[in-house]
């Protein structure tokens, strides 16, 4: 039996989402997780079982104390200054090419802790498929995070 060529991309297996994050910041301890997504200018890693459909609320910045979602959510969010996640070594900080924020929403209370420095290395990006990379030395006022990820594309992460 011959398969139509149009089905070939559906049969090519891509990596499952996964991330390993060492450290704690913003009141969140990460560890290993299967919840890593990218899309638009965002890369998101969560220790919680968040689905892509649950992430439409993600934005570049948040208003302190105001929960951006009705549900509980804990995540490390990278936001690029450009409109897309791009390959290369990127400085992370408040006025850098990318920002990193630990978002912690619990029982309607939200805290947002922003990294003051660090580096994000995006090794590869396959449009609407996956992004692979590492990050190191993300310095927050209450901790430091480092890790690696294979993130799956998420259509709900937009500009």
pLDDT, tens only, 105-145: 999 999 999 999 999 999 999 999 999 999 999 999 999 99
Q: Which of 34, 40, 37 is nearest to 54 (CA)?
A: 37
* 105's tokens: 């929403």
pLDDT value at residue 158? 86
pLDDT band at residue 15 under the 50/70/90 scheme:
low
* CB 9 within 8 Å of CB 126: no
Q: Cα separation of 118 and 78, whole Å?
A: 12
Give residue limits of the domains in the chain: 14-153
Q: What is the mean pLDDT of residues 31-60?
A: 95
3-state helix, strand, coil in the chain (%, to 5): 5, 55, 40
Statement: residue 149 has pLDDT above 80? yes
Enter the pTM of the model.
0.87
* CB 155 within 8 Å of CB 37: no
> Residue 29: how many CB atoms within 10 A of its CB?
12
Q: What is the mean pLDDT of residues 37-59?
A: 95
Q: Cα separation of 61 and 40, whole Å?
A: 15
Statement: residue 24 has pLDDT above 60? yes
Q: What is the mean pLDDT of residues 6-24?
A: 65
pLDDT value at residue 6? 40
Statement: residue 10 has pLDDT above 90? no
* 93's tokens: 């900080």
């Amino acid at each position: 039996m011959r398969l139509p060529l149009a089905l070939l991309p559906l049969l090519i297996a891509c990596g499952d989402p996964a991330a390993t994050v060492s450290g704690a910041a913003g009141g969140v301890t990460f560890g290993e997780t299967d919840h890593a997504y990218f899309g638009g200018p965002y890369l998101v890693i969560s220790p919680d079982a968040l689905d892509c459909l649950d992430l439409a609320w993600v934005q570049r910045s948040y208003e302190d104390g105001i929960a951006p979602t009705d549900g509980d959510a804990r995540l490390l969010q990278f936001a690029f200054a450009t409109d897309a996640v791009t390959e290369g070594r990127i400085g992370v900080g408040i006025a850098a090419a990318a920002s990193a924020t630990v978002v912690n929403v619990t029982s309607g209370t939200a805290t947002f802790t922003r990294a003051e420095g660090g580096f994000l290395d995006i090794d590869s990006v396959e449009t609407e498929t996956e992004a692979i990379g590492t990050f190191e030395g993300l310095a927050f006022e209450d901790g430091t995070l480092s890790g690696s990820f294979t993130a799956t594309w998420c259509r709900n992460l937009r500009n």
